[in-house]
Chain A
C-alpha cells in the first residue's frame, strides 16, 4: 500500500468583524477586543436583538485586482473573494504559473446571498389580499418582475460564490458547496482534506462565507430565541460558558484556507503553516431543534478526528500534557450548546478534560454562521504558530455546569509549557450536524 497523502495548510485569509488581515485580527483576538455594536445595515431599532458584529470598512477593491469582474457579486461572495485572495497570496500561488488548474479544487460552506428584502417585501405586499388572506399570484409576479433584478437574484444562489472564485483563480478541479448551517465550513475544509488524501486534487481552496445580517436572517434567529437580547450591553452580550449567557451574537465574514498535498507544497517551495491531521463528521439524528443531551454526535466527531490523527484523547503525551493542547469550542453562548459541548469534551478526554484549554472566539467575533468553522480553524493555526491561545471573553459568572478551562478573559502564552502543537476545532449546526478538524504543527 502506498504512503498516505499528507495535507498541509499553505495559505489563509479571512474577512471578519475585527478586520480583514490575518495578523491584525489575531492581535485583536489575543487582546480580547470585540466587534459588537448596533446593527447599521438596516433599521433594527425595535428588534429584540438590535446589535451584531458587522464587518465595517471593508473595501473590496483593495483585495482583488479587478473588482469590476465581480460587479454583481453579493456581499458574502465579496468576503470570500477577499479572503481567498489573501490565502492565495500567502500560499505563493500567484507566482506559480505552472499550477495545473485541473488539479485545483474548491470545497466551500458558502451561505446563500442576501435577499433583496425591500423589493421582495414590495412583491409580497402587492400580492397579499388582506380580505381573503390569500396571495394573488399574478399581482405578486407583476411587482416582482418590476422590482427584482435578475443579477441580484442569480447571485443569491448558494453556488454563486464558487462561480466567482472559479473566475478569479481559474479553478477547474472538483468543486462543491455545502450548507450544513453553522457546521458548514468545518465540513467543507474536512471534505477538502479528504479529497486531497484520496488523490482527487492536489490543492483545494476551502472555507466558508456568510452574511445573515439582513432583516430576514436576524428575524429567523430572533424567532428561534437563539440570539442574545442584551440590548443594554452589546459589548458583553456574547458570553460563552458564563452562567448568564443568553444566546449568540450574529457576525459575518469569510475564512478561506489553501489546503495542499504535502509533496506538492514542498516541491514549489511553499511553507506549510500547519498540517490537517484528522476530520470527523457525524449527525445527532435526534431532533431538529435540540442537541443530543449527552453530546453523542459531538463526541463521535471529535473522537473520529482524534483517531485519524493517531491520538488517544484519554492518554497524556510523552511530555505529560494532554495530547490535544487546545480545543476551539463551537461555544455559541446559548445555554444548551455550551452545557452540552462541555459534557462532550469531558466524555472525550475523561479525567484529562480539565487540563485541555477550550475557548470560544465567538465571545469576540460573534457567530459567523457558515463561515465560523473556517475562521475558527484559522485561529487554531495561529495558536500553533504563536503558542498563544485566544481567550473566552466576558466569562464573569462561572456556571457550575461549565467547569472546564475556558481560557477566561485573557489570552494565554503556552510557550513556557512547550507551545501549542495539536488543536481540535469544533462546529455544530442546527439539525444535529457535527464536524471537528484536528490540526497540528507541521513537522517534516
Chain B
C-alpha cells in the first residue's frame, strides 16, 4: 500500500501576520506587508524596507511550562516555534503541548512524529555580544583584535604574567544554544513531543522545500506517520542586512516607503528584493492515518525533486549561468516524474522569484524549458511582493500559498509594479477562481541547490 503524504495543517508567520488566515487574506486582497524596517535602525544601509512580523511574541505560542525556554531562542527559533503552534491548531492535532489539559490524548505516539525544519545561518544578537566584548577592551598587547578588543581579556584564566578581565563570562552560559540552526527543530520536537527522525536542512532559500522532501521520504519509508515540516529565518539583523548588501540581493530603497512597489518578480529592471523574517510549518501526514482521524486535507504532496547546479553559482550581480536553470529544470522534471504527471497537468506555479533579476531569469529559463509554448497559460503565484525574502523560511510560505490555492480553488492576487516579460504570467492580477489540479512549487538557493514539489488537489 503506498504511503501518500497529505498536507493537513498550515502554520505561517510572515509580515502579513501570524497564522494562515492573515496570509491568505492579505494575498487575496493584494496587500503588500513590506514597509520600513523598525526592528533596527536601517539608515546605515541602502535597503531600508523589509517584511517584519508585527506583534508576535513567542511566549504566547508555547505551553506555560516552557516559557522560560524562550530566553534561549533567537528570533529564527521563535518564528519556527510560533509557526508550529499555529500549524498544530490548524490541523486540529493534540500534542504534548496540550499537557495542561490532560484529558486530551495526543493524536499520535511520540515515536511516530518527525520534524524537518530548514534554517539559515542565525546571526547572534549584536547588542548582547557587543556589550560582552566591550568588557574585554584593554591596552595590553597580545591577542589584540582591533578597537582595543583583547582576546586575553576575553578569557578568564590568569596566567603568570597576565590577569584577564574575563569578558566572555558576560555571555549567558547557554549563549551558543540560541544560535545553533538545529534548535528550531529541537524546540519544536520538545514542545510537541516528536521523537521520530528530526533534521535541519541549511540550504538557504531551498531549505524549506528540501525539508518537505525529507519529511515526505521519512513518512513514505515508514519511519514516521506525521512530520512537522518547513523552515524559518530572520534576515532582519545587522549581519543579515550587510550580507545581503554584499550579495547584491537587497534593493536600494531610497525614499520609497511602499515595499510592494520594490519587489517585482521577473522584471529584468527590478532593483533586487527586500529582506524579511518569517516562515512556516506544514503538518504532513500519511494519508490513511490522516483520514482515520478525520483530518481536513489541503492538498497531497504528490511529487518532489532536487538537483544541484554543477557550476555552484555564487552571486556576482550578473545573470545566473545556464547551469542554474538546467538544475532547476532537472528538479522540476524529477518532481513531475515522482508525481506521475506531465507538464501538461500543471495549472499553476508557486514561484520562487524574489525580484532579483539574475536569479529570476534562471527560473524563467527553467519554466520555458519545461512548459514551452504553454508557459503563458500557466498561472503564477508570487509571494515575495507580499512578504519579502524569508530565506530558509521562504519555501514554506510558497507551499502554504499553493496548498491554499488548491484547497480554495482560487488564485490569490499578484502584485507587480514592474514589467515582467509577456511570456510569463507574473504581472499584477486580481484574486480569481481557478480550476486547479496540480500546482508546482519551486525553490532555488544561491549556492546551487534547487528543489521542486508537486501539490495536488485532493479529490
Contacts and interface: CB of A to CB of B under 8 A. Distances in A.
B145 A121 contact: yes
Given A154-B247, A224-B176, A46 B159 contact: yes
A26 interface: no
Interface residues of B, number: 105
B80 interface: no
Interface in B125-158: 126-127, 129-131, 133-134, 137, 142-143, 145-149, 151-158
B221 A282 contact: no
Interface string A172-189: 111111111100000100
Contacts of B168: 47, 219, 222-223
Nearest to B176: A220
A178 B308 contact: no
Contact of A158 (B44, B96, B121, B245): B121
A141 B241 CA distance: 9
B269 interface: no
Interface in A220-273: 220-225, 231
A50 to B, nearest CB: 8
B201 interface: yes
Given A159-B202, A167-B311, A180-B198, A112 B121 contact: yes
Interface string A115-148: 0011101111111101001111111111011011
A43 B241 CA distance: 30
Given A45-B152, A122-B146, A172-B307, A181 B193 contact: no
Given A46-B164, A140-B126, A431-B180, A283 B202 contact: no
Interface stretch (A286-294, A317-325, A332-340, A343-351): A286-294
Residue of B96, B142, B203, B245 with highest tally of chain A CB at under 10 A: B203
Contacts of A43: 142-143, 151-152
Given A174-B308, A429-B182, A153 B246 contact: yes
Nearest to A229: B157
B183 A288 contact: yes
Interface stretch (B372-380, B433-441, B443-451): B443-451
B157 A141 contact: no
A120 B406 CA distance: 46
B26 to A, nearest CB: 28
B181 interface: yes
Given A163-B312, A176-B306, A145 B203 contact: no
Contacts of A220: 175-176
A136 B315 CA distance: 29
Interface string A153-176: 110111110111111001111111
Contacts of B220: 198
Nearest to B164: A46
B198 A281 contact: yes
B195 A177 contact: no
B171 interface: yes
A31 interface: no
A150 B149 CA distance: 23
Residue of B152, B157, B210 with highest tally of chain A CB at under 10 A: B157
Given A46-B152, A179-B181, A181-B180, A159 B204 contact: yes
Contact of B115 (A118, A124, A283): A283
Residue of B145, B214, B217 with highest tally of chain A CB at under 10 A: B145
Nearest to A155: B314
B292 interface: no
A357 interface: no
B197 interface: yes
A139 B147 CA distance: 13
A166 B306 contact: no
B312 A154 contact: no
B152 to A, nearest CB: 5
A160 B246 CA distance: 15
A102 interface: yes
Interface string A403-436: 0000000000000000000000000011111000
Contacts of B130: 124-125, 127-128, 135
Interface string A299-327: 01000100000000000000000000000
B15 interface: no
A96 B36 CA distance: 55
Contacts of B242: 141, 144-145, 148, 153
B129 A138 contact: no
Contact of A162 (B40, B246, B448): B448
Contacts of B312: 162-167
Nearest to B152: A46
Residue of A122, A157, A231 with highest tally of chain B CB at under 10 A: A157
B177 interface: yes
Contact of A285 (B157, B189, B326): B189
Nearest to A144: B242
A215 B151 contact: yes
Nearest to B119: A179
B221 A198 contact: yes
B310 A172 contact: yes
Contacts of B171: 219, 223
Interface string B70-89: 00100000000000000000
A105 interface: yes
B246 to A, nearest CB: 4
A170 B310 contact: yes
Given A45-B159, A153-B246, A223-B175, A177 B203 contact: yes
B424 interface: no
Contacts of A223: 168, 171-176
A166 B307 CA distance: 11
Nearest to A183: B182
A48 B157 contact: yes
Given A176-B210, A178-B199, A167 B238 contact: no
A137 B186 contact: no
B330 interface: yes
A162 B204 contact: no
A163 B314 contact: yes
A158 B146 contact: no
B342 interface: no
A124 B180 contact: no
Contacts of A54: none
Contact of A283 (B172, B186, B203, B447): B186
Contacts of A142: 44
B459 interface: no
A163 B312 CA distance: 4
7 contacts: A45-B155, A46-B151, A47-B155, A118-B145, A125-B134, A159-B204, A180-B200
Nearest first, the 10 closest Cβ-Cβ pairs linking A and B are: A46-B155, A431-B186, A141-B44, A220-B176, A138-B44, A43-B143, A175-B308, A150-B246, A163-B312, A174-B306
Interface of A: 42-48, 50, 101-102, 105-106, 112, 117-119, 121-128, 130, 133-142, 144-145, 147-148, 150, 153-154, 156-160, 162-167, 170-181, 187, 191, 194-195, 198, 200, 215-216, 219-225, 231, 281-289, 296-297, 300, 304, 429-433
